[in-house]
Structure formats: structure tokens, C-alpha cells
Structure 1
Amino acid sequence: MKIISDIRLYKSDIDNINGNSLPSGFSDRSLNLTVRRIAMKLREYSFSLGEFDHLYLNFTNCLPDGTIEPAKRTVDRYSPWYRYYDIGVSQDVFVHLGSENTVPKMLELIKQTLIQYFVLDENDKKVIDTAINAVVTNGSKTLMRFKEKKAAKTTAVIYLQLLDTAGYLPIISVCDLQGKELLRENLPETFDLSSIGEIQLSSKKITVKPRKNAFAQNLEPISFSFNL
């Protein structure tokens, strides 16, 4: 069982869809960021799609409105990490897909797709509701729990905000065992997460080391002190 990694939106109309074609994506940044935030929030709760982790949702007018079904496209054996699902919408909705008026319906259909095909129990339904409601309510200020580190007397959590710039704002929070926050600091905004690797935590200090990869070779650890 793989934890969800990404959700992407596509559209294809009745004139060009066929069993092997790749639908076109949406250029609207706000819509795409909203869906990315939902996927990140679902990932926080370890929500799984099963044997794959990228969900591609294709809105099309070649299916009856509200019909949701796995796409008939053959799964690429070299790319087993994604699946397409087709979502039927009316012609009137189709021509306005991505506009402010259609986004609520699109989010509801995304929710119905997740419930119809990927829910195992009532807790999964609650996770879907929680994730979507958090993103709709908070937008770019939605906090996603990214990493956690526990020490003998403290717990550190790194949260992420996916900003409207498409960059990430990492936020460090350190609490004692009673939940009292001892430290809260923003890390530098970044467009990838190479700066967030190993967390070292003691009763007085937290250090975040960069990942051990080529993109992080020029990055330095970041440390903060706090009083317990």
C-alpha cells in the first residue's frame, strides 16, 4: 500500500478523447495549487491509493454528468505509479472548467472519486473530509505535518505551507511533553525540500540538516536554541 503522493487534473472533450490519448492539463495555478494542497494533507494522514501513488483525474464531457470510472487507457508498464480516472461533467460545466464557479463542483467530484474507489473504512472518509475542508478554509495557510522528531523531553514538528508562489514555507515547532510550545520559527522559503533532511533534537537545541543529495550539497544545517 503506497501513501498518496500527488493529484493532478486534466480535461478532454468528446472530440479528441480515445483509449490511448493523454488529456490536457489545467493552466490555472490557483486550482492546481489547491489540489496539490489536498494531496499533501491526505499524505499527512497516510491516505493510500493502493498500489500506486499518483492520481490523475480527467474531467470529460464524453461521460454522463457525475459518472466516475477508471480510464480505459492502458497502464504504462514503465510508469506503474499513476492511474487515470475519468469524471463526467455536463457540456455547460466542461466549457467553464477551472473558473471560480466550477471549482466547488470539481472539488466535490474529486471527493466523490476518492470515496468511491479508495475508501476502506469510515476513518478514510473522515480523512478526506478533513483534508479538503482544511484546504478550502485555509488556502495557502494550510499547515501540513511533514516531519516529526521525538526526544526524551521534547517533540519537534516541521510543517509545510504550500504558498501561492508554488514555493514551500517550512515551519518548525518544538513542544515539551505537556504540549507547551517552546519554539516556533520559519525556515527560508524553498521550491524543493532538499534543505529538510535529518532533524537533531535535544532539550535545548534543534538542528535541521539538509538532505544528502546533489541539490543540497551547498546547503548548511540550520539550528535554533530554546529554553525548556
Structure 2
Amino acid sequence: MTSPSRLASLSFYSTTPEQQKPPGNVHEGAFDARGADWRNLTLGEIDLSKARLCRVDLRGVDLHGCRLEGTDLRLARYDSHTIWPNGFDFRSCGAIGPQAKLNGAFLNSADLSEMDLEEASLMGAYLSGADLSGACLRGARLAGADLRHARLRGALCEETRFLNCQLDYVDFRCADLNNVELSTAGCIRGADFSDAIYPDALRTSLLGRAFQELDCWNPLTRRTTRESLLG
């Protein structure tokens, strides 16, 4: 006859990673919670060393009492309300959030809508097709990033750095582009700026770009870049 503890163990391992809840106050051994939603939880003194927490949503989570040595946090999500253990370098752990260091990261087609990426470093990142609608990119560094076909509708891009970015077919509709320097972007072919917020000087600068960029049709928004700037 199977003991209750054995049944509990079998139940634990039959749970898929994205359904896993945080373990008890003390945990030993590998733990797999890839893709789980832990938003706004307060965790106790849990040993999550070497746990697999990639893609876990940690926004608003209190992790200050946890051990995170060797923990896989790639593409986990955090925000300004996430509390990390003292001395833990959350900026360089591969997680996505404010001040994250994600240079060269592969984020093609990623759903990053409504994410807080303020002052994040995404230089050379691969963001083609990514959904950044409503995201906060204030002060983010995107030099050399590939943003082709990305959606930044309603995004806050104040002081975002787009040096040498590929912005082909980007959806900038309703985005806040105040204090943004786009004259140094690699290409804006087919980008749509309809209802975006930006100064007249930026419009004039963009309208001075080559006709191959300005008169390119955006198949998603069904207008050319020039039309979006003049409309």
C-alpha cells in the first residue's frame, strides 16, 4: 500500500512546471517552475538554489529571504516592486525588467506588453516581431537592436536610445516619443507613427529620410510611413 507521503511526492512530480507553487519554507534539491505565475507572493526563507525559474512571473514578489545561487532566472519577469535578496545582481541574471542587462538577448516575437523596461540595456537585442505594446522603455538603450515588425503601440519611449536600430514596419501608433532621437536609427521603412506623441522637429527630421523608407506600405496598419507622419 502506498504511503500518504509517497502519494504527495507523486502528486508533486505530476504537476507541470507552470503550475508549480513556491515550495515550503525550506527546500532542498532541484525545483522546476518554468513559466509559473507567482505575482505578488511573499516568499519565506526558501532555498531556490539551482531551481529552474526561467519565464516565471516575479512581478511584485518578495524574494528577500530566498537563496538564489545558480538559479535559472532567464526571461523571468520582474518589476520595481520585486524585492531581491541583499547583494543579488538581478540586473545580470537574464530576467526581464527595469535596468536589466539584456544585450544581445534573443527575444524574437516575445510578449513584452505592459512590461517595465525602464533604463534596461537591450543593445544588439533581437526583438523582431516582439510585442512591446504599452511597455515602459523610458531611458532604455536599444543601440543596434533588431526591432523589425515589433509592436510598440502606446509604449513610453521617452529618452529611449534607438542608435542604428532596425525599425522596419514598427508599429509606433500612440507611442510617447518625446526626447527621442530617431535620426540615428538604421531604417524606418514602413514604420507607422500615427497618433504618436513627438515634437514637430522630430517629424521634420523623419520626413527628410529617403523615399524608399517613407513611401513603404505597412501591411498591418495599411498606410505608408509618410502618411502616418502627415496624418
TM-score of the pair, normalised by structure 2: 0.29
Return the index of the structure with the highest Cα Rg: 2
- Higher relative CO (Cα under 8 Å, sequence separation at least 6) belongs to 1
Higher helix residue share: 1
